[in-house]
A = this chain, B = another copy of it.
């Protein structure tokens, strides 16, 4: 176990009271627990409040485009299977703009861990509905109340039999730390959806609102039981189950590319004798 100090302390641009602060702390603890030093991992993100996370700890950072955190994250792992790859991004970034990559990443099953700061709102752009915003909420973009059925990331991930599906809450720091640790340790695509109060724009799903609802999943739950997981995943309301909902054990894609058995792609000299052979097929 490392000291969390090695990840540094940085001034953030987050509002005081924002759930992101606690997620950052839990993340550092998880990294320390996992013995991952800053130079051993890459932290990817998109754009949004949550997506600023990699700027607030010492790490290799790929802070890309809004909605596009997953494609580079997967490619980094496929280019360097020795790297640990984490992703932090918001609900809008991950399930809105980035929805297609979310589906594809579950299916592709590269060994990365995705932490979604799910504040059920677009924070950085000041309060439009996100895919997880509750039906009926009046927002700047839907002054008449949101009509879209909220996206349930847990239900979709379990329906698609993602390799690791968990939920936590920024107000349960130890729990969250544990979820991240388990997610990183589990091979393949791991998703941790974290309920996160946005004090500035989400006046419905407040800290107290989540606190009241987030209930650790019963220890008897077997995450390999898909039917049970599907039930838990589709529970969101008076009770929000937090914990590991589902686990699958498909081999990660990075272990299936024969090319990657030899390690990182960087610095490989062109295999000219192989190219020569290919060329001669065209004679």
Residues of A within 8 A of B (CB): 95, 97-100, 103-104, 106-109, 131, 144, 147-152, 155-156, 158-161, 226-227, 230-231, 233-234, 250, 253, 256, 258
- Residue of B with least CB distance to A230: B230
- Say yes or no: B149 contacts A159, CB within 8 Å: no
- Say yes or no: A109 contacts B149, CB within 8 Å: yes
A-B contact pairs, 30 of them (CB 8 A): A95-B103, A97-B100, A98-B100, A99-B99, A99-B100, A99-B103, A99-B104, A103-B103, A103-B131, A103-B156, A104-B131, A106-B149, A107-B131, A107-B149, A107-B151, A108-B147, A109-B148, A109-B149, A147-B256, A149-B161, A149-B250, A151-B160, A152-B159, A152-B160, A158-B159, A159-B230, A226-B234, A227-B227, A227-B231, A230-B230
- Residue of B with least CB distance to A253: B147
A103 to B131, CA, bound (A): 10
- Say yes or no: B160 contacts A155, CB within 8 Å: yes
**A159 and B156 in contact (CB under 8 A), knowing A148-B108, A149-B250?**
yes
Further 10 A-B residue pairs, CB within 8 A, beyond A109-B148, A152-B159, A156-B160: A98-B100, A99-B99, A99-B103, A106-B149, A108-B148, A147-B253, A147-B256, A149-B161, A159-B234, A230-B230
> Smallest distance from the beta carbon of A89 to chain B beta carbons, Å?
15
- Say yes or no: B160 contacts A107, CB within 8 Å: no
Q: Which of A148, A161, A250 has the most C-beta atoms of chain B within 10 angstroms of its own C-beta?
A: A148
Contact among B98, B155, B256, B258 with A159 in the assembled complex (CB-CB below 8 Å): B155
A131 to B108, CA, bound (A): 10
> Smallest distance from the beta carbon of A77 to chain B beta carbons, Å?
14
